[in-house]
Amino acid sequence: MNLKVPIVILDELAESVIRSTGQLDLASGEIFDVRYDVDRPGPLGLPAADEQYEFTCGTLSNDGKDVEFRIEVDVMRARYFVSPSELLELKVRAAKLFAGLEGKALLDSAQRVATEQQADAKQEGAAPPAPKRHLH
């Protein structure tokens, strides 16, 4: 199942903003296929390596609606990612905005599915009761 969605990435520097696009994996929070709108986005090809770098944020868009979120940058590995807590918040906010779902409804639905899966697993994996033995 493909859980990658297109996003816009904005690296904020003291005097400018560097725009790029990428693919956010909603399962892991990793961001792939980053493509900058400029040829040389910064030292080492990464805006976060610039001494004027301040922060990075992302935008997830759907049907004219946008959700903004914080993006972390690992300069040593030259990669972008979304922290687990930010990713969870992003999913809730996006579901609310894009599908009109409230966070509580999402959690209730997820809990119901998990309970149903556990019940199904118990039914499928349940061994028949062992016969009773009489010790003489």
| CATH number, domain containing residue 68 | 2.40.10
- Cα 47 from Cα 18, distance rounded (Å): 7
Torsion angle defined by CA atoms of residues 59, 60, 66 and 70, in that order, rounded to the nearest 10 degrees: -40
pLDDT tens-digit readout, 2-39: 788 999 999 999 999 999 999 999 999 999 999 999 87
Residue numbers of the domain that contains 45: 4-99
Task: Determine the pLDDT at residue 39.
Answer: 76
- Cα 135 from Cα 95, distance rounded (Å): 61
Looking at the domain assignment, is residue 126 inside a domain?
no
Q: pTM of the prediction?
A: 0.70
- Cα 53 from Cα 75, distance rounded (Å): 11
- φ, ψ of residue 52 to 5 degrees: the values are -95, 5
Looking at the domain assignment, is residue 104 inside a domain?
no
Looking at the domain assignment, is residue 75 inside a domain?
yes
- Cα 58 from Cα 83, distance rounded (Å): 12
**pLDDT at 136 exceeding the cut of 70:** no
Torsion angle defined by CA atoms of residues 109, 111, 114 and 115, in that order, rounded to the nearest 10 degrees: -110
Residues in the chain: 136
Task: Determine the pLDDT at residue 111.
Answer: 65
Looking at the domain assignment, is residue 60 inside a domain?
yes
The residue ranking higher by pLDDT, 82 or 128, is 82
The total domain count for the chain is 1
108 sits in the region (left: phi over 0; alpha: psi -120 to 50; else beta) called alpha
For helices 103-125 and 84-99, what crossing angle results, to 10°? Answer: 110
Looking at the domain assignment, is residue 112 inside a domain?
no
Looking at the domain assignment, is residue 46 inside a domain?
yes
Task: Determine the pLDDT at residue 107.
Answer: 57
Looking at the domain assignment, is residue 120 inside a domain?
no
71, 81 contact by CB (below 8 A): yes
pLDDT tens-digit readout, 96-133: 877 765 556 655 665 665 677 677 666 666 555 555 55
Those residues with Cβ within 8 angstroms of residue 83's Cβ, 6 or more apart along the chain or in another chain? 29, 70, 72
pLDDT tens-digit readout, 40-80: 777 667 899 999 999 999 999 988 889 999 999 999 998 99
